[in-house]
Structure 1
Amino acid sequence: MRVNSAVLYSPTASKIILAAKERGLKGADELIIDAIVHVLSRANFDKYNVRLVPIPSSAINRRRRGRSFIPDICDEISERTSIPVIPALRILRKVKDQSTLSAPARTKNMHGAFGIAQKIYPRGDLILIDDVVTTGATVCEAARALNSHGFAVLGSVTACVAQPLR
């Protein structure tokens, strides 16, 4: 799957992601939104019926943070780009925090983790939205879930790309 990211994951990018995700700092949200909007603005979607699909937050993270991080910023990205958001994904089961997992363990951890939200959504050419891609396990699982239900996934856009794990 093709993933386009705005910047390399760095200590500065890490601080911005954590400030947005864990502390809900609006300025950090804005930097992430700007990065994703920048990547989307460089694409030519003239031949496509593009829709944004946010990677959902787990129930425990929604409660802890008081919000659904990526779905919430996706709404702002949609306002700025005029690309509609389709919250088509849902989490089917508990997954481990991936930050300490190896690449193979991340793939195993995410396998079968996503399903389609019960509401029927219009067909379109989907772009997955997430904050960071490391091994691609999350976006690949999300694409698998969507593709298995007849959705066309064009690719993914993230704010940051991390050095791949081995």
Structure 2
Amino acid sequence: MGESKLYFVANYNPQSARIILAAKEDGNVFCINLLARCIARSIIFALSESFIAQPVAIITIPSSPAAIRRRGRDHISQVAKQVVKNLAVENIPATYSPVIYLSKNIKDQSKLNSRQRTQNLSGAFSVKNCEIPSGDLFLIDDLVTTGASIQEGARALANAKIGITAVITACAVGRNSLIR
């Protein structure tokens, strides 16, 4: 992830796993909103800690087209749009810019170890030719386990000469939250 800090509210545990699965797989609106509130809270903390200027641009780690078809919706886009709404309530201007896309087929990550995830995702993301979002850029995902998805997203953005301010997630595995 280079120099970017990782901000998140909770450690990954059985309770947070149930919330993420209910949001991701079942489309549970309460759980989607909870994830969005956690991510927005982390962005607010990052802004205050680093004296970062506004506006905020949110870029997401994309879901696979197969997962979107299976769910009937784009989970992370739904979360990101809710994050923008949550930040607006706090008078923080934010935009959602889904500029990263999956440029090769990948395996389901859930059964892969850290090394396998890194290999699976190597070169998997690209950035759309589009206007670069303005403001401080936050790369978000709902969960960071090994960090392979975030690292690949950061690589794709760096190749497109897009720098990120921080990485934001609702929860993470084996890391210490900066937010208490």
Using the size of structure 2 for normalisation, the TM-score is 0.85
Tell me which of 168, 173, 180 is aligned to 1:157.
Answer: 168
Cα deviation code 1:71-95 (max 9, x no counterpart): 1110110122131111110100111
What's the secondary structure of 1:127's corresponding residue? Answer: strand
Deviates more, 1:62-71 or 1:122-131: 122-131
Aligned to 1:40: 43
Tell me which of 43, 56, 61 is aligned to 2:67.
Answer: 61
The one-letter code matched in structure 2 to 1:54 is T
Tell me which of 90, 93, 107 is aligned to 1:96.
Answer: 107
Deviates more, 1:3-12 or 1:47-56: 47-56
Tell me which of 10, 14, 39 is aligned to 2:13.
Answer: 10
- Tell me if 1:25 matches 2:31: no
The one-letter code matched in structure 1 to 2:27 is G
The one-letter code matched in structure 2 to 1:12 is Q
Which 4+ residue blocks in structure 1 deviate beyond 4 angstroms?
none
Change (3 A) 1:122 1:40: closer
Gaps of 5+ in 2: 88-92, 176-180
User: 1:140 offset after TM fit, Å?
Assistant: 0.6
CA distance in structure 2 between the aligned counterparts of 1:41 and 1:101, rounded to whole angstroms: 33
User: 1:155 offset after TM fit, Å?
Assistant: 2.1
Given that 1:125 and 1:151 are in contact with CA atoms closer than 8 Å, whether structure 2 keeps it comes out as no
User: 1:11 offset after TM fit, Å?
Assistant: 0.4
Cα deviation code 1:135-157 (max 9, x no counterpart): 11100100100011110112210
Cα deviation code 1:110-132 (max 9, x no counterpart): 11010012333345432111011
CA distance in structure 1 between the aligned counterparts of 2:173 and 2:127, rounded to whole angstroms: 27
Size of the aligned set, in residue pairs, is: 164
CA distance in structure 2 between the aligned counterparts of 1:49 and 1:28, rounded to whole angstroms: 26
Given that 2:57 and 2:136 are in contact with CA atoms closer than 8 Å, whether structure 1 keeps it comes out as yes
CA distance in structure 1 between the aligned counterparts of 2:134 and 2:86, rounded to whole angstroms: 22
Using the size of structure 1 for normalisation, the TM-score is 0.92
